[in-house]
Chains A and B, each alone.
Chain A
Amino acid sequence: MSRRSGGLRRRGAMQVWEERFGPNMTPMVDIVLVILIFFMAGTTFVSREWFLRSEAVMKGTAAPGADAMELPPVKLEISLSVDGSGGTVFGGLSVDAGERRPVSELRSRIAEFVKGTDAAHVIVVLVPTKEVAYRDVVGAHEACAAVGIERVGVTPPMP
């Protein structure tokens, strides 16, 4: 029977060290921890919000210094109200002043309206009633921004 078999086998120092302690996990744990914290911090800093600029609606004349020969911008007033079923409807984009359509159709109607015109020369004034949900007001604003209308104002309700 050989002396080198079983527990009496002579082993090198490196082999003894590896058997006792195993591979060194410290650098791996280190890197994984840093990557984890990096992504946690990254998601905190990255903004998950959009911002829609709404101009203050004021009555008055054109701004001083405006070119008198230039055509005035197209002003579009869109009213938002709540219908009998509780849904938000809009008006102001058709020949029939009394016509009200669901707010979900607003984007396509505005897109039709500004087709062939420079959207930068269109001013939209949203006139919501007090009952309209704020999300629908933002939705209407979003619909205008989506077709390239930059100047959008929201008329606050009278006190």
Chain B
Amino acid sequence: MKRRRFKREHGFGEVNVTPLIDVVMCLIIFYLMVGKLATDRKTPVVLPTSEVGSEGASERHTLIVNVSRRSGAEAGTGAEIVVDGEAVEGEESLVRLVRMRLAEDAALVVQIRAEADFAFGVVGPVMRACTRGGAKSVVLAARREAEGG
């Protein structure tokens, strides 16, 4: 009786590189994401919505000014200005900061990310400080809203 032999063509005895590729790929993506999150200079802010607008400029040439709510404060109250993860106290400090950063990088774009709930009396002085610091224009960040939605 002819006996069938179990051949090596089924892959036994070869080095299986699939798990290696899997782990290496996961590590690459993990470090990419961590690197991206580590350089994220945005604080969590509930932005106003907009159906139109333009794409953002490169973050390298952008000064992000966050006007966010202090932790524990109620909606529309308790604003704090955060630039690059550090709180900025007072309008004059912000004016100096914007002036200094514009002196370092003339192509700098000032981006304001403010809570939708805030009154303009809170966000307006931030815009004024940026203008006094030498910014020719500021960019207002808004959450994308689908057309008609």
Contact = CB atoms under 8 A, between A and B. Distances in A.
Interface of A: 12-14, 17, 26-27, 30, 33-34, 37-38, 40-41, 44-45, 47-58, 80, 128-135, 137-139, 141-142, 145-146, 154, 156-157, 159
- Chain B contact-residue range equals 35 or more
B66 interface: no
Given A14-B6, A37-B26, A133-B119, A52 B50 contact: yes
B122 interface: yes
B119 A53 contact: no
Contacts of B22: 30, 33-34
A146 B47 CA distance: 19
Contacts of A130: 119-121, 124
Contacts of B25: 34, 37
Interface of B: 4, 6, 10, 16, 18-19, 21-22, 25-26, 29, 32-33, 36-37, 47-57, 91, 111, 114-125, 127-128, 130-131, 135-144
Contacts of A145: 50, 52-53
A138 B142 contact: yes
Contacts of B139: 51-54
Nearest to B134: A56
B73 to A, nearest CB: 15
B40 to A, nearest CB: 9
Nearest to A26: B18
5 smallest A-B Cβ distances: which pairs? A50-B53, A130-B121, A13-B6, A156-B128, A135-B48
Given A41-B32, A56-B136, A30 B144 contact: no
Nearest to B127: A156
Given A37-B26, A132-B119, A134-B116, A50 B32 contact: no
Contact of B138 (A38, A41, A54, A159): A54
Interface centre among B131, B137, B139, B140, by most chain A C-beta atoms within 10 angstroms, is B140
A133 B117 contact: yes
